[in-house]
């Protein structure tokens, strides 16, 4: 039996609803939000909760935020049930794929140019030692196309061009 959320259903892109979530989080000791961020060679989607709600919420500075680039191909769920494994987000389990991730050095530069301009300059973007904090959902996918040393070189070059000392990366493996 389906249960209705305590707050009911709401539009995640509405600043008023985001303000309520920010207050709830901040009042209970949460200091920041990580936003899944989707970019496919310049095309974005599911960006409205960040761009239209969080960044426009009157109380947004109560929390820090940072991005995790969800750099994986996008499919439709429910996942296919092959009976062998649990649903773990593996793109091969999607019943249909709509957006294919294609990494390139230019696209990586474009991602960080956009992020420097749109997000990293925000007063409440999380920074460590002046470096914007950033995460990749699947750095191994990125490394299939661009070697780790080149990834670090590119993202730090772009950040430094915009006046930041570099990028502070959070990932599931050392890069």
Condensed to tens digits (0 to 9), the pLDDT of residues 67-101 reads: 998 887 776 554 454 444 444 445 555 556 667 77
- Tell me the mean pLDDT in the region 128-137: 94
Higher-pLDDT residue of 91 and 13 is 13
In 29-68, which positions are buried (b, 16+ CB within 10 angstroms) versus exposed (e)? eeeebebebbbbeeeeeeeebbebbbbebeebebbbbbbb
Q: Which helix (H) or strand (E) holds 43?
A: strand 43-45
By percentage, how much of the chain surpasses pLDDT 70?
82
The angle, 0 to 180 degrees and rounded to 10, between the axes of the packed helices 105-115 and 148-161 is 40
Q: Is the pTM of this model over 0.85?
A: no
- Tell me the mean pLDDT in the region 58-66: 97
Q: What is the largest CA-CA distance in the chain?
A: 54
DSSP 80: P
* Residue 104 contacts residue 144 (beta carbons within 8 Å): no
Average pLDDT, the chain: 85
Residues in Cβ contact with 155 at an 8 Å cutoff, skipping those fewer than 6 apart = 108, 112, 134, 166, 167, 169
């Amino acid at each position: 039996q389906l249960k209705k959320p305590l707050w009911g259903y709401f539009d995640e892109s509405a600043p008023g609803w985001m303000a309520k979530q920010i207050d709830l989080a901040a009042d209970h000791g949460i200091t920041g939000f990580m936003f899944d961020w989707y970019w496919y060679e310049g095309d974005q989607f599911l960006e409205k909760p960040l761009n239209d709600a969080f960044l426009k919420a009157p109380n947004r500075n109560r929390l820090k935020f940072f991005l995790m680039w969800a750099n994986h191909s996008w499919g439709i769920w429910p996942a296919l049930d092959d009976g062998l494994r649990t649903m773990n987000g593996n793109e091969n389990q999607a019943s249909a794929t709509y957006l294919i991730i294609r990494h390139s050095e230019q696209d990586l530069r474009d991602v960080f140019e956009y992020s420097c301009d749109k997000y990293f300059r925000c007063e409440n973007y999380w920074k460590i030692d002046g470096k914007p904090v950033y995460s990749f959902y699947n750095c191994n996918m990125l490394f299939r196309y661009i070697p780790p040393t080149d990834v670090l070189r590119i993202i730090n070059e772009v950040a430094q061009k915009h006046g930041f000392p570099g990028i502070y990366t959070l990932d599931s493996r050392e890069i």
